[in-house]
Amino acid sequence: MKSIPNRILWLGCLLLALLMIAGLLAIEDTPQLNPRANLSPSQIAKVKRLLERNDPRRLPVGSVAQAVLGQEELDSALNYAANHYARGASRLMFEQGKARIQASLPLPWSRLGGFLNVRIELTETDSLPEIGALTVGRLVLPSFIANGILKSGLSMIPVAAEWRQLVGMVKKVRFSTRRMVVTYTWRGDLQAQLGSALLSDDELGQLLFYQTRLAELTRTGRYTIGLTTLLNALFQSAAQRGEQADPVRENRAAIRVLAFYVTQKDLGQLIPASKHWPRPVWRRVVLQNRDDFTKHYLVSALLAADAGSPLANAVGLYKEIQDSRGGSGFSFSDLAADRAGTQMGNRAVAGEQAAKALQKLLAVAAEPDIMPETADLPEFMPEAEFKRRYGGLTGDAYQNMMAEIERRVAALAVSRE
């Protein structure tokens, strides 16, 4: 009988030794991929066109459709996610019957450095692709182990049930040179279900709190409300939520509710439960007496708080380029609102102390604390005039103007540490 505990101990030691060896083989001193440039306006435009071409929301429920996804757009999105969420880099390539994914990710817990250099090869099957090869550093995992780890990992994530519903829509995935074709059966309620699944019960409770507070604030006879009036009230409430509340999550929830409100987007489209929440009355919300500044400011804050400032900056610049080609024209004043909103969104989620400091500031902030002076900034320029006066996005005059905007934003109270 004494041999049984000894065998268990021996097996435990063997397993520990194998894990240590696997770790030594997997971790490398240098990355195989270096970080690439952040998203550009042209990349944003390509991703937008890709989404528009493959938008399934107009399809009848139950219909079978195909989404054709280009390598360049997916590669840009994947690399941005790797850079923003893991401070790493990635590369995606499609070829006939296969997809190759490469990533270099720094170890977040190691003070000594180290990287995980991952190579994954996905191969076509009659339905969903499978892992044909997986290499982490010098550690090569057989495909049956890699696929087993993937299935086990997906079953443990909080949105596993919704993930299975999404995967259940997909009938087949085909890879060819520089593109992927996904054949799927459309479900009309998927967007709402995934929206709810990606938010925890605590996050839903935070959104409900700020939605309720916003509904109270908009029950006024005034048609126009200053943005700072709403910011003061919501972030005063955030500061009063106490030590038990996570200030970063509180800030993000307040920004989400405000951004949806000023753009007149219904939270119910994304979160079905919110259809039963108190509904704010639509009002014109202004910043420097303009409601377009409010939209620029809060959408940029939302993008920065949820996805990072590079994406927020690229989206803002993309919109101005589009406006110069037939919209309201290129406006440096809009970019100033974008940059200021991005700065606020960054500070809102920059850590517990920064988040609390921002709550105290926004609880009493006036417009000059959150938005730079814009009266002297050129705006409403058609593309030809913008290129003639500023040399396009690479011109010295444009770079000088952007440097001045960044200087003004940096001087705001919302930018101070």
Cβ count within 10 A of residue 333: 22
User: How high is the pLDDT of residue 322?
Assistant: 66
User: Count of CB atoms within 10 A of residue 114's CB?
Assistant: 18
Question: What is the DSSP secondary-structure string of 205-248?
Answer: HHHHHHHHHHHHHT-SS-SEEEHHHHHHHHHHHHHHT-TTS-HH
pLDDT of amino acid 199: 74
Classify strands 64-70 and 115-123 as parallel, antiparallel or unpaired.
unpaired
160-174, 197-211, 372-386: range with lowest mean pLDDT: 160-174
Mean pLDDT across 342-348: 95
Please say if the pLDDT value at position 1 is more than 60. no
CA-nearest of 305, 313, 310, 312 to 349 is: 305
Helices 160-169 & 143-156, crossing angle to 10 degrees? 120
Mean pLDDT, residues 347-358 taken together: 94
Instruction: Give CA torsion, residues 137, 143, 149, 154, to 10 deg.
Output: 110
Beta partners for residue 98, in sequence order: 95, 123
The per-residue pLDDT for 114 is 86
pLDDT reported for residue 276 = 86
Mean pLDDT, the chain, rounded, equals: 85
Q: Give the per-residue pLDDT at 147.
A: 85
From the list 281, 285, 289, 222, the residue with the least C-alpha distance to 259 is 285
**% of the chain with per-residue pLDDT over 90:** 49
Region 213-225 average pLDDT: 91
Distance CA 27, CA 23 (A): 6
The distance between the two most distant Cα atoms of the chain, rounded to a whole number of Å, is 89
For the segment 182-208, the average pLDDT, to the nearest whole number, is 77
pLDDT at 302 over 80: yes
With contact defined as beta carbons under 8 Å apart, do 275 and 269 qualify?
A: no
Distance in angstroms (rounded) separating the CA atoms of residues 317 and 321: 6
- On whether the CB atoms of residues 128 and 173 are closer than 8 A, the answer is yes
Beta strands of 247-359 (E only): which ranges?
Answer: 284-286
Q: Which of 17-26, 73-82, 297-306 has the lowest mean pLDDT?
A: 17-26
Distance CA(379)–CA(360), nearest Å, equals: 33
What pLDDT, on a 0 to 100 scale, did the predictor assign at position 190? Answer: 65
Name the band, by pLDDT with cuts 50, 70 and 90, for residue 34.
confident
Please tell me which of 33-47, 157-171, 260-274 the model is most confident about, judged by mean pLDDT: 260-274
- The better pLDDT of the pair 312, 94 is held by 94
pLDDT greater at residue 107 or residue 379: 379
Whether 341 shows a pLDDT value over 60: the answer reads yes
Per the structure block, which two tokens stand in for 354? Answer: 């920064």
- pLDDT at position 339: 95
Residues whose CB is less than 8 angstroms from the CB of residue 264 and which lie 6 or more positions away in sequence, other chains included: 282
Lowest model confidence (mean pLDDT) among 45-54, 285-294, 330-339, 407-416: 45-54
- What's the pLDDT band for 385 if we cut at 50, 70, 90? very high
Structure tokens at 316: 């803002």
Q: For position 43, what pLDDT does the model report? A: 80
Local structure of 377: helix, strand or coil: coil
Mean pLDDT, residues 322-340: 83
Report the range of poorest mean pLDDT among 187-201, 350-364, 392-406: 187-201
What's the pTM? Answer: 0.76
pLDDT surpasses 70 at 348 = yes
The phi and psi torsions of 169 (rounded to 5 degrees) equal: -70, -30
Q: Is the pLDDT of residue 160 over 90?
A: no
Q: What's the whole-number mean pLDDT along residues 53-79?
A: 85
Angle at 297 between CA 228 and CA 388, to 5 degrees: 135
- What is the separation, in whole angstroms, between the first and last Cα of the chain? 65
CA distance 125 to 119: 19
